């Protein structure tokens, strides 16, 4: 029987001899994560159940990244619950502010996820690790509690959709643009319950950072997971971070694997894409947006807060000034990225340009803190969602783009193509 990469990984985490889409499995997990918003409910469920121990204290991450450094007393209490739980059950991967980073940037950076793994996280953007060739999906807090107790999770084996991207990516076009373009094509529920498998020559050219950005937004098309077959780029990334011995002989989809659908895109003439309010599928090429004035630019998040994102933003902002009506907020996703950005002089460029740099946090992406929008304000963000009220007032507006468009637009005070500035 020929399998997709997703089916292969899922099968290897069960006692079964074969597997098919639609089937429910009780799958063994390699790693799990929760954050300061989702883990408190998991802790309540765990305690209510009367559990006395976790299945494996090395396979659990607790990352206080959403409302941290704690924005108010209630948030501080939630973070404290994570910390107390981590101490009580000797959770190895608990990271205090100062070592903490945005979970989906931090876990790969620490080498905690490897190709072929099965990862669940109580956060919808857990699908990010598909970039490493892992099956990785967002679940709820109760799922997380059950996983802490049993080391397992119930899953319905998804059908897969194959997305093939051909051609050479034009300048200023990134993984973010590929995924926004894909969401435009299939809609916010176009991949509902399904695995999105990204392949083709354009994907092979992408850096790991771009691959993370793509898989990160699979959920925005309703996808259960996003996945990219691991290649030289992937293995180089992983081996730099951990000892790695391949568990799978051939971690690729088989030749006759079955897909519910295959879609092909020629990306050689693609423009940077922008998702307009109030859905990630409301996507337009940047040149179609005329005179959209902005009040805030945010470069950061689990989608685009990685070092290559900061590098491209700095390249554009170097020696320039952020428009006097605009706030430019830049948030490196992890402490390591923060430190690298200091070493490379990127933060100096941002501050000189009139931008503001914050410690790692999800912060403004979900309207938590550190950059909330007022009524009537417009933001351009490198984040993943632009729902009504996502970054603050229900009467504010969020556009989504790649970091190059965001940086150029910060200078112009309106949404523009980076080519117009550089």
Partner 1 sequence: MIIRGKVHKFGNDINTDDIIAAKYLNTTDAKELGKHCMETIDSDFIQKVSKGNIIVGGKNFGCGSSREHAPIAIKGCGISLVIAKSFARIFFRNSVNIGLPILELKDEGKINEGDELEVDLTKGKVRNLIQNKIYESQAFAEFMQELIQSGGLMKWIRRKHNTK
Q: What is the DSSP letter of 336?
A: H
Q: What is the DSSP letter of 300?
A: -
Judged by CB under 8 A, the stretch of 11-19, 45-53, 289-297, 333-341 that binds partner 1 is: 45-53
114 to 133: interface string for partner 1, x by CB under 8 A: -------xxxx-x-------
- The correct pick among 72, 232, 290, 375 for binding partner 1 (CB under 8 A) is 72
Cis peptide bond prior to 381, omega within 30° of 0: no
Q: Does 49 bind partner 1 (CB under 8 A)?
A: yes
Q: How far apart are CA 363 and CA 197, in angstroms?
A: 30
Least spacing, CB of residue 216 vs partner 1, in Å: 13
Nearer to partner 1, 38 or 182 (CB): 38
Q: How far apart are CA 144 and CA 152, in angstroms?
A: 9
Q: Does 232 bind partner 1 (CB under 8 A)?
A: no
Q: What is the DSSP letter of 304?
A: H
Least spacing, CB of residue 190 vs partner 1, in Å: 10
Q: With the C-alpha atoms ordered 381, 96, 234, 11, is the resulting torsion angle positive or negative?
A: negative
Q: Does 361 bind partner 1 (CB under 8 A)?
A: no
Helix (H) / strand (E) containing 107: helix 103-109
- The correct pick among 18, 96, 99, 193 for binding partner 1 (CB under 8 A) is 193
Q: Which two tokens stand for residue 359?
A: 């410690």
- The correct pick among 4, 6, 45, 301 for binding partner 1 (CB under 8 A) is 45
- The correct pick among 29, 146, 329, 412 for binding partner 1 (CB under 8 A) is 146
Least spacing, CB of residue 301 vs partner 1, in Å: 13
Q: Does 381 bind partner 1 (CB under 8 A)?
A: no
Q: How far apart are CA 310 and CA 205, in angstroms?
A: 19
Nearer to partner 1, 72 or 375 (CB): 72
> Residue 396 — φ and ψ, nearest 5°?
-105, 170
Q: Does 98 bind partner 1 (CB under 8 A)?
A: no
Q: Does 354 bind partner 1 (CB under 8 A)?
A: no
Q: Whose CA is closest to 305, among 279, 329, 274, 275?
A: 329
- 165 contacts 397 by C-beta, under 8 angstroms: no
Q: Which two tokens stand for residue 269?
A: 């003439």
Helix (H) / strand (E) containing 82: helix 73-88
Nearer to partner 1, 154 or 244 (CB): 154
Q: Does 88 bind partner 1 (CB under 8 A)?
A: no
Interface with partner 1: number of residues (CB under 8 A): 54
Residue corresponding to tokens 């990225």? 337
Nearer to partner 1, 44 or 344 (CB): 44
Judged by CB under 8 A, the stretch of 136-144, 207-215, 317-325, 401-409 that binds partner 1 is: 136-144
Q: How far apart are CA 246 and CA 7, in angstroms?
A: 17
Q: Does 84 bind partner 1 (CB under 8 A)?
A: no
Longest Cα–Cα distance of the chain, Å, equals 63
* 86: CB partners within 8 A, 6+ apart: 62, 94
Least spacing, CB of residue 400 vs partner 1, in Å: 14
Per CB under 8 A, residues contacting partner 1 are 22, 24, 37-38, 40-41, 44-45, 48-52, 66-67, 71-72, 74-75, 77-78, 121-124, 126, 138-143, 145-146, 149-150, 154, 156, 188-189, 192-193, 222, 224, 279, 366-368, 385, 387-390, 394
């Amino acid at each position: 029987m020929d399998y997709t990469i997703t089916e292969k990984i899922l099968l290897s985490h069960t006692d079964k001899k074969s597997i098919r889409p639609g089937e429910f499995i009780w799958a063994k997990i390699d790693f799990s994560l929760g954050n300061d918003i989702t883990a408190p409910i998991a802790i309540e469920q765990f305690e209510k159940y009367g559990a006395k121990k976790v299945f494996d204290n090395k396979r659990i991450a607790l990352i206080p990244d959403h409302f941290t450094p704690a924005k108010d007393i209630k948030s501080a209490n939630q973070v404290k619950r994570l910390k107390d739980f981590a101490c009580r059950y000797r959770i190895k991967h608990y990271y205090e502010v100062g070592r903490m980073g945005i979970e989906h940037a931090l876990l790969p950076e620490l080498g905690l996820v490897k190709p072929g793994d099965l990862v669940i996280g109580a956060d919808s953007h857990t699908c990010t690790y598909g970039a490493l060739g892992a099956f990785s999906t967002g679940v709820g807090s109760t799922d997380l509690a059950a996983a802490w107790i049993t080391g397992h999770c119930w899953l319905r084996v998804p059908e897969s959709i194959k997305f093939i991207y051909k051609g050479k990516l034009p300048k200023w076009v990134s993984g973010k643009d590929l995924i926004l373009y894909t969401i435009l094509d299939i809609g916010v529920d176009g991949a509902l319950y399904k695995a999105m498998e990204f392949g083709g020559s354009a994907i092979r050219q992408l850096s790991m950072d771009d691959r993370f950005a793509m898989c990160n937004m699979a959920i925005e098309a309703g996808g259960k997971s996003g996945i990219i077959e691991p290649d030289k780029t992937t293995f180089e990334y992983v081996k730099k971070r951990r000892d790695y011995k391949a568990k799978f002989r051939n971690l690729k989809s088989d030749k006759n694997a079955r897909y519910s659908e295959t879609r092909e895109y020629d990306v050689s003439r693609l423009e940077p894409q922008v998702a307009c309010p109030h859905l990630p599928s409301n996507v337009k090429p940047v040149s179609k947006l005329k005179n959209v004035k902005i009040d805030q630019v945010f470069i950061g998040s689990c989608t685009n807060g990685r070092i290559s994102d900061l590098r491209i933003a700095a390249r554009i902002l170097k020696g320039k000034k952020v428009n006097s009506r605009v706030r430019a907020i830049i948030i490196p996703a992890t402490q390591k990225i923060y430190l690298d950005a200091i070493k490379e002089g990127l933060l100096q460029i941002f501050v000189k340009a009139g931008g503001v740099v914050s410690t790692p946090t999800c912060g403004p992406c979900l309207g938590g803190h550190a950059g909330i929008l007022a009524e009537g304000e417009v933001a351009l963000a490198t984040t993943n969602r632009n729902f009504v009220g996502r970054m603050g007032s229900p009467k504010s507006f969020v556009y989504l783009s790649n970091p190059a468009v965001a940086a150029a637009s910060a200078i112009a005070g309106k949404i523009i193509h980076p080519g117009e500035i550089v």
